[in-house]
Amino acid sequence: MSGSLPELLALAVKVSYLVAATLFLLGLQRMASPLTARSGILWAGWGMVIATTATFFLPGLENIALILLAILIGAGLAWYSGKKVAITDMPQMVALYNGLGGGSAAAIGAVELLRWSDAGVAPGMVVLVLAVLGALIGAVALSGSIIAWAKLDGRMDKRYTFPGQQLFNAAVFLAALALGGMVIHSLGVPLVIAFFLAALALGVLMTLPIGGADMPVVISLYNALTGLAVAFEGYVLGNEALIIAGTMVGAAGMLLTRLMAKAMNRSIKSVLFSNFGGGGQAQEISGAQKPIEAGDVAAMMAFADRVVIVPGYGMAVAQAQHKIWELTQKLVERGVKVKFAIHPVAGRMPGHMNVLLAEAGVPYDLIADMDDINPEFANTDVALVIGANDVVNPVAKTDPASPIYGMPILDVVNAKNVVVIKRGKGTGFAGIENALFYADNTRMLYGDGAEMASALVSELKALDGGH
């Protein structure tokens, strides 16, 4: 019976992994709805706690002290950064954390490849191939996500291009594949190092030319790659929890990437290899931007039947979501029908606006997606745009020369009256001029989003006799 305890422990670990996988699946399913997303995150989090704890009971596990130290350091840094990060910086944090996941998978591949190289003993071909593929994909996700983080955080220009860039990138990709093949054929430390350098360089080069408007799709794509890398390395380690978690993350990330690309009328290939959203030249637009005062906007909205509010990244920067919800409540009290229109790629990451509105307490039944709300703009008395730019720009439908031509947009221009809250006359994240701001039915309310929303609330209260 000497072997019974290790066998029982191994069985208990596998059962724990099954429980964790079930919680992952249930959590992911609950994340599909804003109403249950918070509990879904908690369920998946408990699944990860169970899987991590169970791993410590694997027979033959070594370096437990180092593992505990790494967990404490990682958890401490994550707790601190999670508490300190501003909601406007959430896309950067998501990109960075996603990259670290890919880096972890790449590190597993590196350790295993170097260990096999030192021992002079190669595992089975399938395991070796998956180790190399996981390392390649994880390294690309790591370096690419770091570049995405730097762009989103304003530490790097939105695009870097040079002549022959696509050919050069293709050459680096082929070199990474060739080096990976050489590692599979003949394990060696110099080959492994060269392979990882090529893979990291590929992630950087892939992300440098991608413009700001495509960044939500890029984040989703790297999320999918991270999941795939984790699943491959889970197979290498024989760890069921990693295989299941990685597969789910990869599948969810790829599905989200496809949905985001479809919402922009783009293919994944065009996101990676074209210049969309890369700061095109300003378009020649006739007319002038026409300013308006907060009191006039409040009166216009107070006596409207239908109002649609279109939030964008500017609302996140101004932290105006709470005041906008207060404004909505005042309008609803007057009998105005109010909805929020959300573009799939509004903000800097998938679901960015939904997170902000949920934080402010906006009921989900007031939030409409692009396909549902677009037919209603023609019957909308006032469309209030706060911080959105490229996702409401009519040139996406009217100007074939525009870098965003072909991207589906919110048809705000069809509303009877459009009011845009904006700090100044600058362009959006894609770097092009917005024809909506010059339309005959558009008025510009210049100022900070939160301050202007507060002014609108005050003006509405004045109309109601101060109540």
Sort residue 347 into left (φ over 0), alpha (ψ -120 to 50) or beta: left
Q: Which residue matches tokens 């699943």?
A: 231
Q: Which amino acid is at 354?
A: N
Return phi, psi of residue 161, to 5°: -135, 155
Paired strand residues for 446: 422
Whether 340 and 377 have beta carbons less than 8 Å apart is answered as no
CA 416 to chain centre: 33
Residue 62 CB-density burial (10 A; 0-12 exposed, 13-18 middle, 19+ buried): exposed
Instruction: Show the beta-strand stretches assigned E in 324-433.
Output: 337-342, 367-369, 382-386, 417-422
Of 218, 222, 221, 198, which is closest to residue 209 (Cα–Cα)? 218
Question: Two tokens at 353?
Answer: 């606006």
Cα 376–Cα 377–Cα 381 angle in degrees, nearest 5: 110
Report the side by side order of strands in the sheet with 337-342: 367-369, 337-342, 306-311, 382-386, 417-422, 442-446
Q: What is the DSSP string of 50-65?
A: HHHHHHTTSTT---HH
Q: What is the DSSP string of 193-236?
A: HHHHHHHHHHHHHHHTT--GGGHHHHHHHHHHHHHHHHHHHHHH
Round to whole Å and give the CA distance between 263 and 254: 14
Which one of 390, 399, 440, 464 is the catalytic residue? Answer: 390
Of 438, 443, 423, which is closest to residue 298 (Cα–Cα)? 443
Question: Two tokens at 456?
Answer: 């609108």
Cα 200–Cα 109–Cα 221 angle in degrees, nearest 5: 50
Distances in whole angstroms, Cα of residue 322 to Cα of each of 35, 77, 316, 383: 18, 29, 10, 18
Round to whole Å and give the CA distance between 27 and 47: 9
Whether 344 and 378 have beta carbons less than 8 Å apart is answered as no
Of 257, 182, 184, which is closest to residue 225 (Cα–Cα)? 257
Of 274, 157, 278, 147, which is closest to residue 205 (Cα–Cα)? 147
Is 390 designated active site?
yes
Catalytic residues: 390
